[in-house]
Structure 1
Amino acid sequence: MSIKLVILGLLMEGEKHPYEIAQVMKERLMENYIKLPKGSIYYAFDQLQKKDMIEVVDVIRDSNRPDRTIYRITPRGEEEFQQLLIRQFSCLDNFYHPLYAALVFARHGNPTAIAEVLEERIQIVEESVQRMQQVYEEHISQVSRATLHMMMGTVEQGKTELKWLKRIRKDALEGRLQERGRPILLKEEERGT
């Protein structure tokens, strides 16, 4: 996902200055569900302004703070936003979990060390799921239903990942990661039956 889509999307909600955009991104925990490129949000604002996708509405001067430049999206920016949005909806990128490469070779690893690392990861994911659930509940009356779908999606994905990590950890503790020809049997409630 591009930072342009995020900035333009947040400006579709109303006029904002770059720092305010950064704060909204932080408040909504966007780093947990949107892979954003590293770099300056201010640079992205400059680029969008040069391409007439956003424009300055006001500059707020305060002797105690740096000047704050307020921007709004332009009609050209709205067109670009619509194109970026549809492009993102149609994106069919494969999902590669960071553990996939490790799992291919886990049978050669130290099962105790693997289980310990997985336990730490489980705790991190549990905390993340709790945070995302809290953010979801706090934003029910503040954001669109589409945004709530996205937030709930991250909660559901996190819960699914927890089940998966716990199964892998259990196999590591039982020394079963090297076994061959043994299917992974899910409990009925995990299969949804």
Structure 2
Amino acid sequence: MSKRKVANLLALAALAYLSQAPMHPYELSKALQANGDARSIKFTHGSLYMVIQQLAKAGFVAEQATSRDGQRPERTVYAITAEGRAELRDWLRELVEQPQHEYPAFVSALSLIGALEPDEVVELLDQRLRRLHAVRAETQRAIDLADSEGVHPLFLVEEVYRVRLIDAETAFVGEFIEKITTDWGPTWAAFHEELRANS
């Protein structure tokens, strides 16, 4: 895994959009939101402006023009450079080809789940399942709507991937609940009884 001059994934998104056309950061922010990229990449207007400055410093984008609309502040339009195009392609290739160890919050919670009592965990997991079903339904509706409007499946692939992840997590949570309620619960509850007795 190579060390990148700008490692924020928001920078990757900015490079991808600027490879299509020069834009000012506000316009870029609107494009990210309009295309649903805010579901995959967390950002604010402020963080986007900061990333653009980092990309400019690294030589991946360059100022193309500055304009002013009435009394509004000046807006600088940025264009991707040849170095930026090379970085975009290299970075995307790396992300697609090489699995990376990630640190999702739910995985962190699972590693420490023994600190809660089993009955409470089952209740919390039941609530999580309901929320997963709701998120899946919402995501599938968005896919179906886009499909009905003629959006090419290539531009929906991240949403399809998201549905598959939700399906996998739903199956895991259901199996975990079953393990707790049919097998692990008594031992787990006894562990907490012992902790209370010794505290």
TM-score by length of 2: 0.69
Q: Classify 1:90/1:101 alpha carbon distance in 2 versus 1 (closer, same or farther; 3 Å).
A: same
Amino acid at match of 1:118: L
Cα RMSD of the aligned pairs, angstroms, is 3.3
1:95 deviation in Å? 4.9
1:66 aligns with 2:73: yes
Aligned counterpart, 1:118 = 125
Q: Classify 1:11/1:74 alpha carbon distance in 2 versus 1 (closer, same or farther; 3 Å).
A: same
Conserved 8 A contact 2:22-2:79: yes
Q: For 1:66 and 1:143, how far apart are their aligned partners in 2?
A: 36
Matches within 5 A, 1:123-134: 123-134=130-141
Secondary structure of the 1:72 match is strand
Secondary structure of the 2:135 match is helix
1:5 deviation in Å? 1.3
Size of the alignment, in residue pairs? Answer: 178
Amino acid at match of 1:50: K
Q: For 1:107 and 1:147, how far apart are their aligned partners in 2?
A: 41
Q: For 1:178 and 1:107, how far apart are their aligned partners in 2?
A: 11
Q: Classify 1:118/1:86 alpha carbon distance in 2 versus 1 (closer, same or farther; 3 Å).
A: same
Q: For 2:152 and 2:62, how far apart are their aligned partners in 1?
A: 25
Can you give the 5+ residue segments of structure 1 that lack an aligned partner in the other structure?
A: 181-193
Identity %: 22
Give a deviation string over 1:39-93, Cα, whole Å, max 9, x none.
7221111121223321233334223543332222122211111111112122222
TM-score by length of 1: 0.70
1:9 deviation in Å? 1.0
Q: Classify 1:64/1:152 alpha carbon distance in 2 versus 1 (closer, same or farther; 3 Å).
A: farther
Can you give the 5+ residue segments of structure 2 that lack an aligned partner in the other structure?
A: 1-7, 188-199
The structure whose Rg is larger is: 2
Matches within 5 A, 1:97-176: 97-103=104-110, 106=113, 109-140=116-147, 145-172=153-180, 174=181, 176=183
Conserved 8 A contact 2:63-2:78: yes
Q: Tell which deviates more after alignment, 143-152 or 110-119.
A: 143-152
One of 81, 85, 91 as aligned partner of 2:92: 85
Greater helix share, structure number: 2
Q: Classify 1:72/1:78 alpha carbon distance in 2 versus 1 (closer, same or farther; 3 Å).
A: same
